[in-house]
Amino acid sequence: MTGGFGRLRSAAVLSSFGDALRTAALPLLAVTLTDEPLLVAAVTACGYLPWLVFGLLGGAVADRVDQRRAMWVVDVGRGLLVAGFAVAVALGHASIGLLIALAFALTTLQTLFDNAATALLPAVVDRDALGGANARLLTGQRMAGGLVAGPLVPLLLAAGAAVPFAADAVTFLVAAALVASLKVALPEREPRPEGSTVRAEIAAGLRALWRDLPLRGLCAATALCNVGMGALIATLVLMVTDWLDAGTTGFAAAMTAYTVGSLAGGVVNGRLVARAGRVRAVLLAGVVQIGALVVMGSVRGLAALVASLAVFGAMGMVWNINTTTLMQQRTPAELLGRVSSAFRTLGVAGAPLGALLGGGVVTAWGPNTPALLAAAFFALSVAALIPALKVDVSVVEPDDDPTTARVPL
């Protein structure tokens, strides 16, 4: 690993810390502004919607521009937006409409940032080290975002509703400075054909994704999972505070358990991939997550929720590390931004629908039912992965050893 990776990782750690503060604070703020489940769920839904509108465009732009510059400029913009929101909250002007607008604006900028970051990593580390690099990034992000930031949210909210958002703004701006100082030699790009259009370049990314059977299967599976995830995430605060009557402390405990499980997933991932291959590791993760979701939705107790979320987080980390690594390994560098955006856009497509479905089933049948709905969609996603198993092989990089995942993000 190079010093450039260390700086990139530090920026990711800091951003994840601030994002976790905001992500946990938004639903808690939302339930103080309305008691309507659909409106609470709409805040989460609008956090996904820009991927459907701007996701493919973000990937095409990421393949055209200096990815490092795109990342720090976007972080400056997001820092200023969240700072403005913190001021509005401090002055008592918060509303559900403002929460929805903030979620939409931040995710719009994220469509460029995430695709640029995915495309930049292979320029910072060797391709045969991508598995270990992704494990370090993702487990570190989870540690900073959940294990450190999660328990702080109730304390920060006690100091003032605007405090978590002010802290998030600072992390965006500092992360922007770190990325701006990153020294990296970007690979030379082939000149675009004369008359090439953004639409044609987006289409090339979609074709590349469609022609790769493992990536196509993973994309379909991720899309189905995200319908369930949208329902679960949008309503988890209602499950904890209403069905379990555990309050904000219970919500923090649940999120911390998810983080601890995610770290464990990063530790075991290397051994799992060595034995099963990357696609099979993802399939196994999905099967285990189905069981965890059934427990969440059927056992009424905070201890059961905490335990199942820990297992769910561990397998979610295995899923994320291997889908990202497969995409980076199997895609030509000049197409990576567009393939990444196509994967993310199609994968995220179901999340807004899932968030609204979650709000609907809470209204109709109670706060525990989104977890059971999610289990059904995860079962469909596992079925979608089966055709990709025919071409799965074990691909383990030299630094995919699980000990390399124990890096704070």
What tens digit of pLDDT does each residue of 301-353 get? 999 999 999 999 999 999 999 988 888 888 887 888 888 888 888 887 777 78
Q: Output the pLDDT for position 311.
A: 95
Q: Output the pLDDT for position 408.
A: 27
Sign of CA dihedral 122, 128, 134, 137: negative
Q: Per-residue pLDDT for 395 more than 80?
A: no
Sign of CA dihedral 311, 30, 252, 360: negative
Q: Which CATH topology does 3-182+201-405 take?
A: Growth Hormone; Chain: A; (1.20.1250)
Q: Taking residues 249-272, what's their average pLDDT?
A: 86
In Å, how far from its chain's centre is CA 30?
A: 21
Among 159, 75, 62, 173, smallest CA distance to 120 is for 62
84 touches 52 (CB < 8 A): no
111 touches 51 (CB < 8 A): yes
Sign of CA dihedral 7, 11, 16, 21: positive
What confidence tier does 371 reach under pLDDT thresholds 50, 70, 90? very high
CA–CA–CA angle 250, 374, 49 (5° rounding): 90
What DSSP string describes 346-399? HHHTHHHHHHHHHHHHHHHH-TTHHHHHHHHHHHHHHHHHGGGGGG------TT
398 touches 239 (CB < 8 A): no
CA–CA–CA angle 190, 193, 196 (5° rounding): 120
Q: Output the pLDDT for position 227.
A: 92
> pLDDT tens across 143-171, in order?
776 667 767 777 787 788 888 889 889 98
> pLDDT tens across 88-147, in order?
989 988 888 888 888 888 888 888 888 788 778 887 887 777 777 888 888 877 777 666
Q: Taking residues 387-399, what's their average pLDDT?
A: 55
Sign of CA dihedral 297, 300, 301, 303: negative
Q: Output the pLDDT for position 275.
A: 87
What is the CB-side half-sphere exposure of residue 86 using CA atoms within 13 A?
A: 21
173 touches 76 (CB < 8 A): yes
CA–CA–CA angle 109, 112, 115 (5° rounding): 140
Helix (H, G, I), strand (E, B) or coil at 2: coil
297 touches 375 (CB < 8 A): yes
59 touches 115 (CB < 8 A): yes
What is the CB-side half-sphere exposure of residue 344 using CA atoms within 13 A?
A: 31
Q: Taking residues 5-10, what's their average pLDDT?
A: 81
405 touches 139 (CB < 8 A): yes
- Quote the CA–CA distance of 183 and 181 in Å, as a whole number: 6
Among 184, 229, 223, 196, smallest CA distance to 69 is for 184
339 or 290, which is more confident: 290
- Quote the CA–CA distance of 185 and 183 in Å, as a whole number: 7
Q: What percent of the chain has a predicted confidence (pLDDT) above 70?
A: 89
Please report, as a single letter, which amino acid is at residue 296: M
- Quote the CA–CA distance of 281 and 323 in Å, as a whole number: 10
List the end-to-end C-alpha distance of the chain, in Å, as a whole number.
15
> What is the model's pTM?
0.72
- Quote the CA–CA distance of 311 and 234 in Å, as a whole number: 20
- Quote the CA–CA distance of 134 and 73 in Å, as a whole number: 23
Q: Output the pLDDT for position 402.
A: 32
Q: Output the pLDDT for position 12.
A: 79
Q: What are the helix (H) ranges across 277-301? A: 278-298
Q: Taking residues 74-85, what's their average pLDDT?
A: 92
400 touches 275 (CB < 8 A): no
118 touches 337 (CB < 8 A): yes
Q: Cα Rg for the chain, rounded, in angstroms?
A: 20
In Å, how far from its chain's centre is CA 164?
A: 19
- Quote the CA–CA distance of 140 and 71 in Å, as a whole number: 19
Domain ranges of the chain: 3-182+201-405
190 or 330, which is more confident: 330
Among 165, 172, 199, 190, smallest CA distance to 16 is for 172
